[in-house]
Homo-oligomer: A and B are copies of this chain.
């Protein structure tokens, strides 16, 4: 069963639930924006479904919802942000203005965030940079989930990577993908719905193939997409997000020993390129030739198209939220149970 809600109503409700759980108003607003955007864009695995996880992490004291990030400009093109054990998105927000100025000035700039918690979708972090004219790449480390190619157990996080670039007269081209065959969000939904998973997405605690989401999400491991090649991408993400940024590796995560630690203290790496510094201002127009060629070759859906369609629908008809998730959100926000969206 679904509840239809407008984004202008959903965002404050999410923010309220985070404030009730201990976040500051300013921090809660930033997280509410990405959670509501995920729900609006049909990314239910990263939307309201995650709220109990956020709330538990905040209430337990594992995640500091009142953290003030510390931003250091370490060179003309690099920023290092200590998220202060708070939300990674708050750290990003604290540095993003200067990061864009640096990228405009130098043609390229990067920011690394450590000591932060990234429990939401990654595409909301990079899409706004592409709307501002930049090519953006982002990656995030997190607690270990993926068995590297050739390994018997998990070492890497789900290690998502996202890419965004401007398009001429259209919303940016954006993709966001975990380094596993299947994302953790998809597995959580399968688990909730009692479904088995396809072959080839994970192994159990003994390193054997399994289709049980419980076994994979438990002591087992996710398998990387594209066998050894996806594993190499996962390694790159782990190195950029954790090693370069000075954050914890996925295998160093200590959340298991902390009741309520539903999120990981991890790293994020963000890279901005000003494409006009190379090919010149005609970049986006030329890029349309590639998209036209893709359409001509039979590609009827680009990565991100599904999100944009859901976004248009939501703008017209409102956002459909699972009633159970919505009711729980209302509870978490301390609103009266009978309140209408």
A residues near B, CB below 8 A?
A: 74-78, 80, 105-110, 112, 114, 135, 137, 147-155, 163, 165, 173, 175, 177, 181, 207, 225-230, 232-233, 235-236, 238-240, 242-246, 249, 251-252, 271, 273-275, 277-280, 283, 286-287, 289-290, 293-294, 297-301, 303
A243 to B290, CA, bound (A): 9
B273→A110 contact, CB < 8 A: yes
A298 and B236 alpha carbons, distance in the complex (Å): 19
Q: Which residue of B lies closest to A150 (CB)?
A: B299
Are A277's CB and B230's CB within 8 A?
no
Our pick among B147, B228, B289, B301 for the contact of A249 (Cβ within 8 Å) is B289
Of all A-B residue pairs in the complex, the 6 with the closest CB atoms, nearest first, are: A226-B226, A246-B279, A78-B107, A75-B107, A77-B106, A151-B297
B151 lies within 8 A of A298 (CB): yes
> B238 touching A230 by the CB < 8 A rule?
no
Least Cβ–Cβ distance between A94 and chain B, in angstroms:
16
Residue among A76, A149, A152, A243 facing the most chain B CB atoms (10 A cut-off) = A243
User: Are B238 and A229 closer than 8 Å at their CB atoms?
Assistant: no
Whether A110 and B107, one on each chain, are in contact in the complex, defined by CB atoms closer than 8 angstroms, is yes
Give chain B nearest CB distance to A219 CB in angstroms: 13
User: A239 touching B110 by the CB < 8 A rule?
Assistant: no
